[in-house]
Structure 1
Amino acid sequence: MTAAPTPPSPPPRRDAGRPRGATIVAAVLAAVRAELAETGFEGLSVERVARRAEVNKTSVYRRWPTREALVAAAMEGLLEEFGASPDTGSLRGDLHALAAPIAELAARPDGVALLRAALATTAPGDVRGAARQRVGPPVASASSIVDRARARGEWRDGADPQQAVFTLVGAIVHRTLLEHADPTGEWLDGLVDLVHRGVSADPPP
């Protein structure tokens, strides 16, 4: 009599055996960002995070005892690629160089997660603070853009640098979260043109 075939064993979980550590952390935090992008902080479930990361819930709680700590950890590392705004030689080029990385990040699932966490009204202050801290560098870069533009005679007197940056960032957020549309490409070019016209000095006679 032929023996019945042995059913295939399920694939091992990431937290089964060694090595663990960095592999589990990376999988869990990636799962958190994916869940945030889909459901926001309000709908975030540690159980779904663990299932998506293919780890046990105990592996999650052992490292992050609260949902808030888990989300704050997931925000770390995002937007670290933002440094000083490059000098492109023109005000419009500098504005585009400032806005493009934000738009490119917002077009990705982890960028959507970042924006949702920053804007979540039900998230505790430390979670919102961690997310908003990630979007601080682009705002801080505005001062160098304005200084260069003023030195070139391109910046209009009375134009508020902070308003210009908030217009760029706010429009990208609206495009991503409310319109569910791509904030890059021609749409971004048009937005930069609009802000550029608003802050540019009158052309010399």
Structure 2
Amino acid sequence: MSEQQPIPKRRPGGRTADSTRRLYEAVLELLATGGYEAVTFQEVAAQAEVNRSTIYRRWATRTELVFDAIESVAAASVSVPDTGDYRSDLRALLSSLKDFLSSPLGIASLAAGAEMSRTAEVPERRDAFWKARFDELAIVFTRAMEKGQLSTAFDAEVGTAMLGGALFFRIVMMAESIDDQWVERVSNQFFLMQAH
């Protein structure tokens, strides 16, 4: 009798991971081309080529789905390097944000995030989303204070709000792109504040 071959084990989450990837890609494509209003379960399902029941089983609202999709791309697109130097870290963070937010997807994601903050069906999900964004930016300041490169009197929350506000104002309010010169201007302004 020939030895029976073992049955290959199915990779855990393989099918789920693939459908999630396609769903997120569909959401982000719809955001970039039509904005937040274009993202409906019906359109996402059609573009991702999945049954709508797949979406309904995992997300109760489109807000939750969009938040998750934006988080997936933000985490992969925006890096917070640790060069050992506060000024270098801040410039690197701003450059990373510049690259992401200057793209059509980045602009659409920022606008969608602002829209969802006003209309979110799930306030706790909205709060968790923005806390994660805050933590990503604030780490540059908190790490610098821990290393003694930035005064412990520095208010990381206010600094992060100023940084985020500068990004929002430049892109959404002024409809201007973020370039290397702008990154340098913002960085220098923070360094001047530190000096005083």
TM-score between the two structures when normalised by the length of structure 1: 0.67
Closer, same or farther in 2 for the Cα pair 1:41/1:119, shift >3 Å? same
Q: Distance in 1 between matches of 2:173 and 2:30?
A: 18
Question: What amino acid maps onto 1:102 in structure 2?
Answer: L
Alignment-derived partner of residue 162 in structure 2: 167
Q: Distance in 1 between matches of 2:36 and 2:177?
A: 22
Residue among 103, 107, 111 paired with 1:108: 103
Q: Distance in 1 between matches of 2:35 and 2:140?
A: 28
Q: For the Cα contact (< 8 Å) 1:72–1:131, is it kept in 2?
A: yes
Question: What amino acid maps onto 1:74 in structure 2?
Answer: A
Closer, same or farther in 2 for the Cα pair 1:128/1:114, shift >3 Å? farther
Q: Distance in 2 between matches of 1:138 and 1:195?
A: 14
Q: For the Cα contact (< 8 Å) 2:26–2:44, is it kept in 1?
A: yes
Q: For the Cα contact (< 8 Å) 2:90–2:140, is it kept in 1?
A: no
Count of aligned positions: 178
- Please, what is the CA RMSD of the aligned residues? 3.1
Residue among 48, 59, 82 paired with 1:64: 59
Pairwise CA distance, 1:96: 1.0
Closer, same or farther in 2 for the Cα pair 1:35/1:29, shift >3 Å? same
Question: What amino acid maps onto 1:98 in structure 2?
Answer: L
Alignment-derived partner of residue 120 in structure 2: 123
> What are the ranges of 5 or more consecutive residues in structure 2 without an aligned counterpart?
1-13
Deviation track 1:147-177 (CA, whole Å, cap 9, x = no partner) reads 43xx35xx46855343333222221122223
Residue among 86, 89, 93 paired with 2:88: 93
TM-score between the two structures when normalised by the length of structure 2: 0.70
Bigger helix fraction: 2
Closer, same or farther in 2 for the Cα pair 1:40/1:104, shift >3 Å? same
Q: For the Cα contact (< 8 Å) 1:168–1:192, is it kept in 2?
A: no
Closer, same or farther in 2 for the Cα pair 1:171/1:84, shift >3 Å? closer
Pairwise CA distance, 1:25: 1.8
Q: Distance in 1 between matches of 2:129 and 2:35?
A: 13
Question: What amino acid maps onto 2:103 in structure 1?
Answer: R
Closer, same or farther in 2 for the Cα pair 1:156/1:140, shift >3 Å? closer
Deviation track 1:112-148 (CA, whole Å, cap 9, x = no partner) reads 3443343220122144234314312221331112343
Q: Distance in 2 between matches of 1:105 and 1:134?
A: 17
Q: Distance in 2 between matches of 1:42 and 1:147?
A: 43
1:27-42 correspondence to structure 2 within 5 Å = 27-42=22-37
Q: Tell me, what secondary structure is at the counterpart of 2:119?
A: coil
> What are the ranges of 5 or more consecutive residues in structure 1 without an aligned counterpart?
1-18
Q: Distance in 2 between matches of 1:143 and 1:170?
A: 19
Q: Distance in 2 between matches of 1:130 and 1:66?
A: 16
1:122-201 correspondence to structure 2 within 5 Å = 122-124=119-121, 125-135=123-133, 136-148=135-147, 151=148, 155=150, 159-201=154-196
Deviation track 1:160-205 (CA, whole Å, cap 9, x = no partner) reads 343333222221122223333332422212221122212225xxxx
